[in-house]
């Protein structure tokens, strides 16, 4: 396996000008979709350089060229506003053909410099560091708020169409190809009970109460590279799903991940709840960065966004479990079921805390 991987990485590196010799690599395992490698290269002068090589998952992204087109548009737009950026966004290197991706051995690859002194976190220990993460994601939306939407492709159609996600979930339950739905009846009931809350934001979009904006759509805390020493955001990464979406979902997804007291796949559900200090710090940062350009309705639905996206992701994890784990990479048996249960527990806790969540958003408007 190791040999096969290194050979492919070498072939990819040959498509980049004077990249030098690969001397070492490690696989990064925190993403659920693409394959990511931290690669060390020795250049002609004997100096070590570090890169990130990523194979795009084409089961999930049916048209990687469109994904990379979007990323180019976004990078150009954000870079043209350099003076307004406190936090960078990831830039991929052009290959010898001048493209920001490379086709090699049947897959699409992309390469970027490894950002020195950067780190990503799966959980947050210190609530205070969340304010700057909130600011970074809010600012990201602000910077893209004047990028014409028709410049971007929809890389995964209906990605956060929660209504369709739930319809699909119930179709999978009905098909139950591996006889797994039978064993998760309580979990399925949760989606029956909460189907109407989960549909609310899509209804508001359809009725014109909420606008589409260019949004990130995958605002996990580990999609910001943080400075190892200062814990300040350095760079927003994972731009694959940047496309038209609801601002509220970006806020909500970040809360779902970063304000959970436990990790996304925690098995001990007694450890899973919404940490209100973390919630408040993130909210402070996000709303400060975005209140100028978001509508009152959008701000008023932020807390609901956290509930809706948590239910949505829970349904995606459980559908994938029932379907045989085809979409999200798993690292243990029943991993997607553990993830789904954790998100259900978190969503239930958010529903209990909904009024307090709304009050906090109100405070920073
Ligand atoms: C996936 O690959 P990663 O971990 O950045 C998924 C997100 C989910 C997330 C849950 C394209 O993101 O939608 O919220 O897992 N990305 C895609 O951790 O489906
Ligand atoms: Mg992602």
Q: How far is the CA of 249 from the centre of ligand 1 (A)?
A: 13
Over the stretch 352-364, which tens digit does the pLDDT of each residue have? Answer: 999 999 999 999 9
Sign of CA dihedral 310, 29, 228, 114: negative
Contacts of 117 (CB under 8 A, 6+ apart): 227, 228, 229, 234
Partners of 111 in the beta sheet? 53
In the chain the domains, ranked by start, together with CATH numbers, are 2-113 (3.30.200.20), 127-364 (3.90.1200.10)
The pLDDT, as a whole number, for residue 1 is 61
Q: What is the pLDDT of residues 180-211, one digit of tens each?
A: 999 999 999 999 999 999 999 999 999 999 99
Q: Kindly give the number of the ligand 1 atom that is closest to the alpha carbon of 238.
A: 5
Instruction: Indicate left, alpha or beta for 176 from its phi (over 0: left) and psi (-120 to 50: alpha).
Output: left
Report how far ligand 1's centroid is from the alpha carbon of 127 (Å).
Answer: 23
pLDDT band at residue 2 under the 50/70/90 scheme:
confident
326-333 average pLDDT score: 97
Ligand 1 centroid, distance to 33 Cα (angstroms): 7
The mean per-residue pLDDT over the stretch 263-281 comes to 98
Nearest atom in ligand 1 to the alpha carbon of residue 264 is 18
- List, in sequence order, every beta strand (DSSP E) within 107-154: 107-113, 118-119
Place of tokens 């909500």: 252
* Helix, strand or coil, per DSSP, at residue 196: helix
Q: Which atom of ligand 1 is nearest to the CA of 60?
A: 11
Query: Could you tell me the distance, in angstroms and rounded to a whole number, from the CA of residue 20 to the centre of ligand 1?
Result: 32
Q: What are phi and psi of 110, to 5 degrees?
A: -145, 155
> Which residue, judged by its Cα, is nearest atom 13 of ligand 1?
218
Give the confidence band of 3 by pLDDT, cuts at 50, 70, 90.
Answer: confident
Closest ligand 1 atom number to CA of residue 222: 5
Question: Is residue 12 classed as helix, strand or coil in its secondary structure?
Answer: helix
pLDDT, mean of residues 91-97: 96
Ligand nearest to the CA of 31: 1
Tokens coding 198: 């989960």
pLDDT, tens digit, 9 for 90 and up, residues 210-261: 999 999 999 999 999 999 998 899 999 999 999 999 999 999 999 999 999 9
Closest residue CA from atom 14 of ligand 1: 218
Residue ranges lining ligand 1, Cβ < 6 Å: 31-33, 60, 218, 220, 238, 241, 264, 313
Cβ(216)–Cβ(137) under 8 Å? yes
Cα distances (angstroms) measured from residue 61 to each of 217, 241, 314: 14, 9, 21
Question: 169: helix, coil or strand?
Answer: helix
Tell me which residue of 142, 193, 144 sits closest to 307, measured CA to CA: 193
CA-based nearest residue to 56, from 83, 77, 37, 79: 37
6 phi-psi bin (left φ>0, alpha ψ -120 to 50, beta other)? alpha
Q: Report the residue among 29, 32, 35, 137 best suited for mutation to probe ligand 1: largest number of ligand atoms under 8 A from its CB.
A: 32
User: Of all atoms in ligand 1, which is nearest to the CA of residue 34?
Assistant: 2
Give phi and psi for 127, each to the nearest 5: -55, -30
Residue 87 reports pLDDT greater than 90 = no
How many whole angstroms separate alpha carbon 365 and alpha carbon 362? 5
């Amino acid at each position: 396996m190791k040999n096969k991987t290194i050979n492919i990485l070498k072939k990819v590196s040959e498509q980049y000008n004077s990249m030098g010799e690969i001397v070492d690599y490690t696989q990064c395992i925190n993403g659920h979709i693409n394959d990511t490698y931290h690669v060390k290269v020795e250049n002609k002068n004997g100096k070590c350089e570090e890169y990130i090589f990523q194979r795009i998952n084409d089961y999930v992204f049916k048209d990687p060229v469109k994904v990379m087109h979007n990323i180019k548009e976004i990078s150009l737009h954000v870079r043209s506003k350099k003076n307004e950026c406190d936090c960078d966004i990831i830039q991929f290197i052009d290959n010898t053909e001048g493209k920001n991706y490379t086709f090699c051995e049947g897959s699409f690859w992309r390469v970027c410099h490894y950002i020195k002194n950067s780190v990503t976190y799966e959980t947050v220990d210190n609530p205070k560091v969340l304010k700057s993460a909130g600011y970074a994601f809010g600012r990201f939306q602000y910077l893209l708020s004047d990028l014409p939407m028709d410049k971007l492709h929809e890389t995964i159609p209906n990605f956060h169409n929660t209504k369709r996600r739930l319809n699909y979930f119930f179709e999978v339950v009905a098909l139950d190809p591996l006889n797994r739905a039978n064993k998760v009846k309580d979990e399925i009931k949760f989606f029956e009970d909460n189907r109407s809350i989960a549909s609310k934001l899509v209804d508001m979009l359809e009725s014109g109460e909420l606008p589409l904006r260019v949004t990130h759509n995958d605002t996990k805390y580990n999609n910001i590279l943080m400075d190892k020493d200062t814990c300040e955001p350095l760079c927003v990464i994972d731009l694959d799903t940047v496309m038209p979406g609801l601002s509220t979902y970006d806020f909500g997804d970040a809360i779902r991940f970063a304000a959970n007291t436990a990790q996304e796949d925690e098995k001990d559900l007694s450890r899973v709840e919404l940490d209100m200090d973390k919630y408040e710090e993130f909210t402070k940062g996000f709303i400060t960065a975005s209140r100028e350009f978001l509508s009152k309705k959008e701000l008023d639905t932020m807390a609901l966004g956290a509930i809706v996206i948590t239910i949505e992701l829970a349904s995606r994890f459980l559908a994938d479990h029932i379907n045989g784990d085809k979409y999200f990479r798993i690292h243990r048996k029943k991993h997607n079921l553990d993830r789904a249960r954790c998100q259900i527990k978190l969503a239930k806790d958010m529903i209990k805390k909904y009024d307090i969540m709304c009050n906090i958003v109100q405070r920073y408007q």
